[in-house]
Amino acid sequence: MDVIMAKSAEKYDGFPQSKSDMLHLLMDEYGEEIKRLVFTYTKNWAQSEDIAQEIFLSVYKNLDSFREQSNIKTWIYRIAINKCKDYVRSWHYKRTVITDIIFSNETEDSPETVYLYSEQKQMVSKLILQLPIKYREVIVLYYFKDLTMEEASAALEMNVNTLKSRLRRAKNILESKLRSKGGL
Amino acid sequence: MDRLLNDMKQEFENSISADPVFSLRERCQIIKLIEMEETRTPRPSSWFPKLLSGTVLASLFLFTLFIMMDYTGVKENTQSSHNKKQTNIEAPPHHISENEINEKVAYIESKMKLGLSETEVHRLFGKNFVILDNSDSENGSVKRIGYNLLVNDPSLEKKMDSSIIDEENLLKRNIGVQLFIGFTKEGKVQWATSNYAYDGEVYMTSWDKNGMATKKLHEAAEKKDEIIEDYASEQYKTFSDKEKEVYEAFRKSLDENLLRDLDPISIAKFYAQANIAQEFDVVYALYTDRKNYIHMSKEEYEKLPSSHRFTPENAFNAFKNIEKGKFISHEDNITAHIEYMADPDAEAPSGFTMVKDEDGIWNISFLPLQ
């Protein structure tokens, strides 16, 4: 706990006095990116908000058990990923996914917004969110959350070689999907 | 693929949401949750707390007994004067607390989902709603209702005007939360907004096909204006002096004759500018009205949901470099297209279809992008 406080204090003017101060610092630093990460799993903002709450609650409860072996970013990411995986295994998630599909189909044919998806990067963003979770998460963590291979593998609790092969496979799937849509 | 992924962090984050997603309200909720958890957590037992709580309980019992005896005695002795006093004292006005509002907001946010039926909505939020005018719907909803939840005066429960947010009463906490809901023709929730005051500002949480998002009411409007201004002024720079003069006259009068001697590319630039500036009456005036071509009445066009229109950013990107495009007339001598490179890295150029009206003026096809 003191180690986290000392590390975080380097970035802030005041030294955090309590667990509650520490939580505020962590929400400042990671709140936005964690909620965005959660959305890449749930694809639903209402659920993302609930899960982000659970994550920071869990962070708060477990601050005392944080060990210096992992860095705090990896530690928070691991908590977040585990919460997200609990959620996607739930019945509620399966029901929400069906609802999301119904609503996304409703808007797919709007004439002028078709352009939005014709741009390659936007198309890839959309395709990433359609990947199976095991491929989606490695792309998001490594390319968009600035985690190194080692950090991403620690957050996902998998070895680096597995991570590398998942990344390779994820990129292959993306390439073939992009090709089939005429984007490559 | 590796290079593309390395370059697109910002685009990916924007595709999730261009605005911040972790709000102050959520932080407050987390802190509140933690406080609630901590009060629920039992403290380690020891003899001192037991003794303390025993003493407190005994004192409470004695105090209650004393009050009951005292009250009964007073009641017996001074019942008539006491009653007289009570009739003169008015009940203090109910002040809606921040906690009440927070709890209501959290309840709405945990229950509201797109696709809920009207019956489910009534079950969740009650039947004390107002049916509102839906004629200005941009979202395609066919029915709109509104709730004033948590009011300190019952007369405010049904005081609603269309979907205008009663900021004054929200800020004064006369109304805790205003909830607006739009339904599809099948009677399912298509969109909803929940509006409430927090820390002297009005916040809006909205649910639509893009999910749920919370924004400060005025911040969102100011930000949108700022974005429109940035993109519109950038595009406007490509106008020649003559184009500026005609465009300004056209957007005021919508008189098609002003376009008569213009180069078709100038007309396409006007269309781009009007879309970027979100001036949809100008956009509509530029569409073709030639028979046998796709046409939409002004009323139909105005009812188009916002998802069917360009955002300023999309319009800016879609029509980038159209001024450098090549105008290619087709064999029928009625249609033509402009070929241009909106994205210099794209493999194929973009195409923009135009139609010559019977009066000889080039107009825009209803589905201009190829």
What is the full per-residue pLDDT of chain B (370 aa) written as tens digits?
777 888 888 888 888 888 888 988 888 888 888 887 776 555 444 444 554 455 555 555 555 555 555 444 444 343 433 443 343 444 445 568 877 888 888 889 888 999 999 999 999 999 999 998 877 666 778 899 999 999 988 888 888 876 688 888 888 888 999 999 999 999 999 999 999 988 778 888 889 887 888 877 776 666 677 777 778 888 888 899 899 899 999 999 999 999 998 999 999 999 999 999 889 999 999 998 888 777 778 888 887 777 678 888 888 888 999 999 999 998 888 899 999 998 877 777 888 889 999 889 999 988 777 5
CA distance A31 to chain B (A): 6
CA distance A145 to chain B (A): 8
pLDDT of residue A136: 93
Interval A24-68: pLDDT, tens = 889 999 999 999 999 999 888 888 898 999 999 999 988 887 765
pLDDT of residue B88: 41
Domains annotated on chain A, with CATH:
1-108 (1.10.1740.10), 112-184 (1.10.10.10)
pLDDT of residue B215: 78
Phi, psi of A146 (to 5 degrees): 60, 30
Q: Is the CB of residue A145 less than 8 Å from the CB of residue A32? A: no
How does DSSP classify residue B297? -
β-partners of residue B198 are B201
pLDDT of residue B89: 40
Q: Tell whether the torsion through CA atoms of B168, B171, B175 and B177 is positive or negative.
A: positive
**Which regions in chain A score pLDDT beneath 50?**
1-15, 94-118
Compare CB distances from B13 to A36, A102, A111 and report the shortest one's residue. A36
Give the C-alpha separation, A83 to A155, whole Å. Answer: 12
Residues of B in contact with A144 (CB under 8 A): 9, 12-13
Cα–Cα nearest to A50, from B26, B36, B214, B196 = B26
CA angle A92, A98, A100 (to 5 degrees): 100
Give the C-alpha separation, B369 to B14, whole Å. Answer: 23
Q: With a cut of 0.85, is the ipTM above it? A: no
pLDDT of residue A46: 84
Cα–Cα nearest to B188, from B112, B267, B132 = B112
Residues of A in contact with B207 (CB under 8 A): 46
Residue of B16, B111, B314, B341 best to disrupt the A interface, most CBs of A under 10 A: B16
CA angle A167, A171, A173 (to 5 degrees): 115
β-partners of residue B354 are B336, B364
Residue of A97, A115, A137 best to disrupt the B interface, most CBs of B under 10 A: A115
Residues of B in contact with A101 (CB under 8 A): none
Q: Is the CB of residue B43 less than 8 Å from the CB of residue B49? A: yes
Give the C-alpha separation, B173 to B150, whole Å. Answer: 9
DSSP-based helix, strand, coil % in chain A, nearest 5: 80, 0, 20
pLDDT of residue A37: 95
Neighbours of A18 (CB within 10 A): 9
DSSP run (H or E) holding A161: helix A160-180
